[in-house]
Amino acid sequence: MEAVDHVLAAHDFIDPDKMGVTGLSYGGFMTNWIVTQTERFKAAISQNGISHWPSFYGTSDIGFYFTPDQVGGEPWTNEEGYREKSPLTYAPNVKTPVMFVHSHEDYRCWMDQSIIFYTALKHLGKEARLALFMEGAHVFRSSAKPSIRKRRYEQMIGWFDAHLKKEATNGPRSKPPRSRSR
Structural domain count of the chain: 1
Does any domain span residue 87?
Answer: yes
Does any domain span residue 96?
Answer: yes
Does any domain span residue 175?
Answer: no
10 Å CB burial of residue 68 (0-12, 13-18, 19+) is middle
Does any domain span residue 174?
Answer: no
Please tell me the total number of residues recorded for the chain in this structure. 182
pLDDT at position 156? 94
pLDDT at position 167? 61
Q: Where are the alpha helices (DSSP H) in the chain?
A: 2-10, 26-37, 53-59, 66-71, 79-84, 112-123, 140-143, 146-164
Distances (CA, A) of 113 to 4, 42, 58, 107, 146: 26, 22, 12, 11, 25
pLDDT at position 140? 64
Q: What is the CATH number of the domain that holds 131?
A: 3.40.50.1820
What is the pTM (predicted TM-score) of this model?
A: 0.85
Q: Where are the alpha helices (DSSP H) in 60-136?
A: 66-71, 79-84, 112-123
138 is catalytic: yes
Does any domain span residue 150?
Answer: yes
102 is catalytic: no
pLDDT digit string (tens) for the chain, length 182 residues: 899 989 999 999 999 999 999 999 999 999 999 999 999 999 999 999 999 999 999 888 888 889 999 999 999 999 999 999 999 999 999 999 999 999 887 778 778 999 999 999 999 999 999 998 877 766 766 666 788 888 889 999 999 999 999 764 444 444 444 433 33
From 11, 25, 51, 104, the catalytic residue: 25
pLDDT at position 99? 98
CA atoms of 56 and 62, how far apart (whole Å): 10
pLDDT at position 137? 64
In 3D, which of 88, 101, 103, 113 has the Cα closest to residue 46?
Answer: 101
Contact partners, residue 71, CB within 8 Å, separation at least 6: 53, 78, 81, 82, 85
From 52, 102, 138, 163, the catalytic residue: 138
Could you tell me the residue range of the domain that residue 140 belongs to?
21-164
- Which SS3 state, helix, strand or coil, does residue 181 take? coil
In 3D, which of 13, 9, 15, 18 has the Cα closest to residue 177?
Answer: 9
Does any domain span residue 131?
Answer: yes
What tens digit of pLDDT does each residue of 87-126 get?
999 999 999 999 999 988 777 877 899 999 999 999 999 9
Does any domain span residue 158?
Answer: yes
In 3D, which of 157, 104, 113 has the Cα closest to residue 133?
Answer: 104
